Amino acid sequence: MPCYKPIAMRKYRLLLIVTIVLFLLVNTSQLWDDMFGAWAFPAFIFLLVVYGLLLICLLYQLFLTIKEKFKNKPRVYLTGIMILLLLAMYVNPTGIINFDSFEGPDLLTARRVGVANCHTVLKLKKDHSFYLRETCFGVEKFSGRYTVDNDTIRFDSGVTSRG
């Protein structure tokens, strides 16, 4: 008789799917976080609540796994996957992949923290393109081209992505 029962894994499917979807959302957040605009903060709170609930579910699954002495293989697999994914999200909350590295090296990076912990980041690239990101109860992104005249940096009107 096989020790793996496909029917037994069905009851863990929802928990596994929610964990994987949260992991994918967190790891791709740099690609979509500016689309939410003023809803970015409530979306962050929602993801934080889901993470907390998954952490509680993980502790419960871990308790049951130890209580059953690791005999329920689907539960052991679920617990292991949840530990890996939730730990990866805790260690790298902005995602495992650094999408900024695909844009090329930075020539200059300037950061400013304002009131209410609002962040502004300006990055000048070698190919004379710039990237400005403002985060304050929402995300705004600006990008375009720049030119340097002696001690003056001139920014051309670029693409705006307002959230």
Q: What is the pLDDT of residues 15-67, one digit of tens each?
A: 999 999 999 999 988 777 777 767 777 888 999 999 999 999 999 999 999 99
Decide if 157 contacts 148 (C-beta within 8 A): no
Over the stretch 111-157, which tens digit does the pLDDT of each residue have? 999 888 888 999 998 888 888 888 887 778 888 889 888 888 888 86
Predicted TM-score (pTM) of the model is 0.72
**DSSP line for 107-155:** EEEEEEE-GGG-EEEEEEETTSEEEEEEESSSEEEEEEEEEEETTEEEE
What angle do the packed helices 13-27 and 73-91 form, to 10 degrees? 20
Q: What is the pLDDT of residue 162?
A: 52
Question: Which residue, 82, 132, 77, is CA-closest to 110?
Answer: 132
Place of tokens 């793996």: 4
Band of pLDDT at residue 68, cut at 50, 70 and 90: very high
* CA angle, residues 146, 150, 152, in degrees to nearest 5: 50
**What is the pLDDT averaged over residues 97-117?**
82
Band of pLDDT at residue 12, cut at 50, 70 and 90: confident
